[in-house]
Amino acid sequence: MSKVILFNPRSANSKHRIPNSILQVGASINGKYDFVFVDGNLEKDPWAKIKSYLSTGNFKFFGCTVMPGLQPKQAIPFTKKIREEFPEIINIWGGYFPANQYKSVLDSGFVDYVINGPGDEAFPQLIEAIKSKADTSLVKNLIFKRASEFIKTPKADLFDQDTLPQLPYEKLNSFYPLEKYLGKTFLGTKTAAYHSSMGCPFTCSFCAVVPIYEARWKGKSATLIYKDIKYLKDKFGANGIEFHDNNFFVSEKRTVEFSNLIKIENMIWWGEGRIDTINKYSDESLTVMREAGCRMIFFGAETGNDAILKQMDKGGTQSGEQIKKFAARMKKFDIIPEYSFVLGLPAETPEKVMRQIDEDIQFIKQIKEINPDTEIIIYVYSPVPTEGSELYKKVTETGFKFPIKLEDWLNPQWSNFDLRKNPLTPWLSAEMVDKILNFETVINAQYPTVSDFKLTSFQKKTLRFLSSLRYKSDFYNFPYELKALQKFWLKYRRPEVEGFYTE
Ligand code: B12
Ligand code: SF4
C-alpha cells in the first residue's frame, strides 16, 4: 500500500490558521493517491496519531511541511522516529526551512527528499517516480543525496495558479472542523487565512523567499480568489481574511479587480506588500481598496537608513523619505500601514552597529509622529543563506555559520535565532539586543494600537502614562513595569513570533 501522511507540525501555541501548505500539497495528489492530514496544531498527541496510521502498514510516504521556529521541534524528532520504527517509509520535507537548510536536513539521514519550491507538480511526480522505480533526478524542484553528493534538480517554471487543482477544504474539514481554523482577530470573528500567489518578484538580500523563487511571482486571478473566499464565507461563515502571500499587492490591476468583487461581501482584509509598489497605486485604487475592506497592510519598511536599504537590495526605489511620506499617504486613505523593521545589521565596528540601531529607533519615533496609527513590528536581524548577496558575504566574513547538524536547530539558542529574537550573530552584543527589545516594549506601551483590541481605554491610558517619560527621554533600560502590565492585561505574545498583528 502506498498511502501518504501530510503532516503540519505545531506552528503556534494558539490561534491556529488554515494549514495552507499541506492543504495545497493535498490538492496536488487529491484523487491520485490516498492521503490523510495530521495537524500538530490541533492534535494533542500528533506522534500517537502518526504512529497509529503507520502501524496499519498501509502507508509508504510521510510528507512534512517545515518553516523555521516551532515546526522543527516536532518535524525533527517525529521524522527520526519514523526512520527508526518504520524504516520502509519515505520521508519528504517541503517548505522554507528544508529548502534553505537542505544540507543539514539531508545529512541527518532520516529525510530522503526535500521539495525546493512549489510541490504542486514535484510531489505527485516524485511519488510516481519512486513507485515505478524511475529516476527521481528527472523530477524538478527536488533536492536529495546520492552517495555523498547533493543532487539539486532544475527549478520548474511557476505554474499558472488558476490551473492548480481545487484546494480540498472538504477533506480537511473531515479531519479537523474548518471552523477551528477561523480565529478571532481585529479583522473579524472568523478570520480565514488564504494564500493567493507564489514567490515574489524582488530580491531583498535578507529574505528567505529569494533563494527559492529567484525573483519570480505568479498569482491566482482575482475571480478565483473571490470564488474561494466566497466559498469560505458561505460554507464556514468566514468574515475576515488574512492574505498569507509573501507579496499580495504585486499587481495593481489584480488588487483592484479583487476589491471590486469582494466589496459587496462586507469582509475586512489584510495582506503583505511593498511600500514602493503600493506607492505607485493611484488614489482611485487605494480608495476602492479601503471601501472593499482593506483595513491594514503589512510592509517591510526595514530601516530609515538609505545606505542599509541599498545593502538590503530593497528593489532600488525605497528610501527613508519615501517610507515617511507613504505613512502620511496611507493616513489619508485610512489604511493602517503595518511597518516591520529589521534592526541590528552588521557593520564595520560595534560603534557603528549601535549607531545604526539608535538611528533606526529615532526614525521609528518619527514615523509614529507622522501617523500614530502605524503598527510597528521590530525584528532583530538574523541571516538567511542568500548566497551571492553582498549582505550574506558580509555576514559570513564575521565568522557566522549555520548549524551543521540538523538536531542542533533544536537547541534553544538556534530556535530563538529563528524567532529572530536572540540571534547568534557575532556582531550583536547583549546590550544591543536588549536595547532593541526594550525599545519595542516601550513603544508598544506608548502607542497601543487598533490591534490591541483587548485593552480597555483605561488600560491603554495607564500604559501610555507609565511609558511616556521613558519614551520622551529615550530611556529604555529594564522596562519591567511595562512588561508585567502587558503580560497581565494583554497576555502579550510577540505577534511576529506567534501570529500576525491582526490578532
Ligand atoms: C502562516 C505563516 C506563519 C504562521 C503559522 C500559522 C499558525 N498560526 O500556525 C505564524 C504567524 C505562526 C508564523 C510564524 C513564523 N514564521 Co511564518 N509564515 C507563514 C506564511 C505567511 C504562510 C505559510 C503558508 O501557509 N504558505 C502557503 C503555502 C501554500 O505555501 P508554502 O508553504 O510555500 O508551500 C508550498 C511549497 O513550499 C511546498 N511545500 C511546503 N511544504 C511542503 C510539504 C511537502 C510534503 C511537500 C511535498 C511540499 C511542500 O509546496 C507547497 C505548495 O506549492 C509564510 C509566508 C508564505 N507566503 O508562505 C511565512 C514564513 C514561512 N514564515 C517565516 C518565518 C521566519 C516565521 C517565524 C519563524 C519568524 C517570524 N518571526 O516570522 C515565525 C515563527 C513561528 C513559530 N511560532 O514557530 C518565513 C520563513 C523564512 C525562512 N527564514 O525560512 C516565511 C516564508 C515568511 C517570510 N517571507 O519571511 N508563520
Ligand atoms: S519584497 Fe518581501 S518577500 Fe519579496 S524579496 Fe523583499 S522581503 Fe522578500
Nearest residue CA, atom 29 of ligand 1? 21
pLDDT digits (tens, 9 = 90+) for 233-244: 999 999 999 999
* Greater pLDDT, 346 or 62: 62
The predicted model gives 493-498 an average pLDDT of: 53
* Greater pLDDT, 222 or 420: 222
The answer to the question of residue 175 being in a domain is: no
* pLDDT attached to residue 65: 98
> Does residue 232 sit in the same domain as residue 303?
yes
* Residue 56, pLDDT above cutoff 80: yes
C-alpha torsion angle, residues 195, 198, 201, 207 (rounded to 10): 80
Question: What cell was used for 346?
Answer: 552588521
Q: Is the CB of 118 under 6 A from ligand 1?
A: yes
Distance 210 CA to ligand 1 centre (A): 14
Q: Is the CB of 158 under 6 A from ligand 1?
A: no
Nearest residue CA, atom 6 of ligand 2? 204
Q: Is the CB of 207 under 6 A from ligand 2?
A: yes
The predicted model gives 222-245 an average pLDDT of: 98
Q: Is the CB of 210 under 6 A from ligand 2?
A: yes
Q: Which of 91, 126, 144 is the last residue of a domain?
A: 144
> Does residue 110 sit in the same domain as residue 194?
no
> Does residue 224 sit in the same domain as residue 338?
yes
The answer to the question of residue 124 being in a domain is: yes
Domain containing residue 250: CATH number:
3.80.30.20
Q: Which of 126, 144, 162 is the last residue of a domain?
A: 144
The predicted model gives 273-282 an average pLDDT of: 96
* Residue 500, pLDDT above cutoff 70: no
* pLDDT attached to residue 498: 56
Q: Which of 144, 172, 207 is the last residue of a domain?
A: 144
Structural domain count, the chain: 2
The answer to the question of residue 338 being in a domain is: yes
> Does residue 228 sit in the same domain as residue 323?
yes
> Does residue 442 sit in the same domain as residue 396?
yes
> Does residue 104 sit in the same domain as residue 223?
no
The ligand 2 atom at the shortest distance from the C-alpha of residue 207 is: 8
Nearest residue CA, atom 3 of ligand 2? 246
List the single range of 140-144, 384-388, 402-406 with lowest mean pLDDT. 384-388
* pLDDT attached to residue 458: 87
**At residue 227, what is the residue type?**
K
Q: pLDDT confidence of 413, banded at 50, 70, 90?
A: confident
* pLDDT attached to residue 397: 87
> Does residue 97 sit in the same domain as residue 192?
no
The ligand 1 atom at the shortest distance from the C-alpha of residue 63 is: 45
**At residue 84, what is the residue type?**
E
The answer to the question of residue 205 being in a domain is: yes
Distance 391 CA to ligand 2 centre (A): 15
pLDDT digits (tens, 9 = 90+) for 282-317: 999 999 999 999 999 999 999 999 999 988 888 668
Q: What is the rounded average pLDDT for all residues in the chain?
A: 92
For the chain, the helix, strand and coil percentages under 3-state DSSP, each to the nearest 5: 45, 15, 40
Range of the domain at 28: 3-144
The ligand 2 atom at the shortest distance from the C-alpha of residue 202 is: 5
Task: Name the E strands within 186-261.
Answer: 188-194, 197-199, 217-219, 240-243
Distance 67 CA to ligand 1 centre (A): 5
> Does residue 197 sit in the same domain as residue 275?
yes
Question: What span, in angstroms and rounded, lies between the C-alpha atoms of 258 and 145?
Answer: 43
> From the DSSP assignment, how many helices (H) and strands (E) are in the chain?
21, 16
Q: Is the CB of 247 under 6 A from ligand 2?
A: yes
**Separation in Å, CA 329 to CA 37, 257, 316, 341, 368:** 44, 22, 20, 19, 14
Q: Is 249 exposed, middle or buried (0-12, 13-18, 19+ CB in 10 A)?
A: buried
pLDDT digits (tens, 9 = 90+) for 246-260: 999 999 999 999 999
The ligand 1 atom at the shortest distance from the C-alpha of residue 499 is: 11
Phi-psi region of 153 (alpha: psi -120 to 50; beta: other; left: phi over 0): beta
* pLDDT attached to residue 391: 81
Q: Is the CB of 41 under 6 A from ligand 1?
A: yes
* pLDDT attached to residue 423: 59
The ligand 2 atom at the shortest distance from the C-alpha of residue 206 is: 7
* pLDDT attached to residue 285: 98
pLDDT digits (tens, 9 = 90+) for 142-153: 999 999 999 999
The ligand 1 atom at the shortest distance from the C-alpha of residue 20 is: 25
Q: Is the CB of 115 under 6 A from ligand 1?
A: yes
Domain containing residue 80: CATH number:
3.40.50.2300
> Does residue 363 sit in the same domain as residue 475?
yes
Backbone CA torsion sign across 324, 326, 330, 336 = negative
pLDDT digits (tens, 9 = 90+) for 60-98: 999 999 998 899 999 999 999 999 999 999 999 999 999
> Does residue 95 sit in the same domain as residue 186?
no
pLDDT digits (tens, 9 = 90+) for 391-404: 888 888 888 888 88
The ligand 2 atom at the shortest distance from the C-alpha of residue 314 is: 6
* Residue 414, pLDDT above cutoff 90: no
The predicted model gives 341-348 an average pLDDT of: 92
pLDDT digits (tens, 9 = 90+) for 105-126: 999 999 999 999 999 999 999 9
Distance 245 CA to ligand 1 centre (A): 10
Nearest residue CA, atom 65 of ligand 1? 68
The predicted model gives 7-21 an average pLDDT of: 94
